[in-house]
Amino acid sequence: MSKNKVFCEECRNDVDYTESSVPMTGTIKAQTYHYIGKEAHCADCGALLFVPELSDFNLRALYDVFREKNGIISVGKIRKIPEKYAIGKRPLSLLLGWGEQTFSRYADGDIPTRQYSDILLRVYNEPSFYYELLETNKGNLKSALAYEKSLRAVTALLSSCPSADSKIDSVIRYLLCQCEDITPLALQKALYYIQGFYYAFYHTFLFSEDCQAGIHGPVYRDIYCRYKDYRFDPEGKPIEFDISVFSSGEKTVCDSVINHICCYSSKILERFTHNEAPWLAARGDLPTTAASDRTIDKALIGDYFGTVKTKYNMLDPCDIKAYAQDMFLCI
């Protein structure tokens, strides 16, 4: 029984009611979702009643299923972020480069876009990513005290976290898991394209590491040294990978690069990058056979792949196929 009475159309009176859990369906963006909601029935005549609190509950349950099915961060995780990093909702929104009320709206239940959801998931899961945001965008904060308080919180988290793979290490393991015959040269190009296209769609870089304008195209030098002798061993132990370390956006970009770019040979991919602005700009007037440790500025990578996304009217990372096909025809 409910302590609060509601009006029953059949009884024409305020009545007590009973609640029951029932299967329900709802539609969001033309897609139908099934979830468990609640109904209220008159305790006197059994008629179905409208109870505002239960209506709100059912809407939240529908949204929760939508979030789960579409890889959108939950409200619970969103609400834990300010507490985790000792920062207010408004300062956090400013730190992320969003409108002052944007984070508050998501904490109140509004559904973020996939792009914003993936950023929030990285913030929630990766203190190192939040630390980079805090240091890079601290000028957005209106109070030095807010920065110092949050810095102490994230520093404590980083010092207490067990060592884990960096994001680039996780991507490498995924590439080796999915592309058994990948060569060290192709691995370098895959990392470069994942970095570029991730920025094009989500306006943040997936890796903190810089790449250099090597003779054979963009190269992550430390990664090259670690994997230059890599060869796939069909009789070796299979590489295991926990896909939960990726957000939906990270996995989508990686999968698209694997499907549409890693299908080309390493020498073809080398020729791709030799025709792209970031590598050309970093090389400058160097002879084609000259070794180089010049860094390819991340800004060049971001600008170039952002332009590619616009030129090809890419709506999601799967659309990079057309770009790869055009590059193949041009070399």
CA dihedral (148, 150, 155, 156) in degrees, to 10, reads 110
pTM of the model: 0.60
Q: Can you give the pLDDT of all 331 residues of the chain as single tens digits?
A: 445 789 999 999 999 999 999 999 999 888 899 999 999 999 999 999 999 999 989 998 898 888 878 888 888 899 999 999 999 999 999 999 999 999 999 999 888 988 899 899 889 988 888 988 999 899 999 889 999 999 999 988 887 655 445 889 999 999 999 998 899 999 999 999 999 999 999 888 999 899 999 999 999 998 998 888 887 666 566 667 788 888 888 999 999 999 999 999 999 999 999 999 999 999 999 988 898 889 999 999 999 999 999 999 999 898 999 999 999 998 8
- pLDDT of amino acid 245: 84
- pLDDT of amino acid 86: 95
- pLDDT of amino acid 161: 59
As to burial, measured by CB atoms within 10 angstroms (0-12 exposed, 13-18 middle, 19+ buried), residue 292 is: middle
As to burial, measured by CB atoms within 10 angstroms (0-12 exposed, 13-18 middle, 19+ buried), residue 24 is: middle
Set out the domains of the chain in order of their start, with CATH numbers.
6-69 (3.10.20), 75-160 (no CATH), 167-330 (no CATH)
- pLDDT of amino acid 235: 53
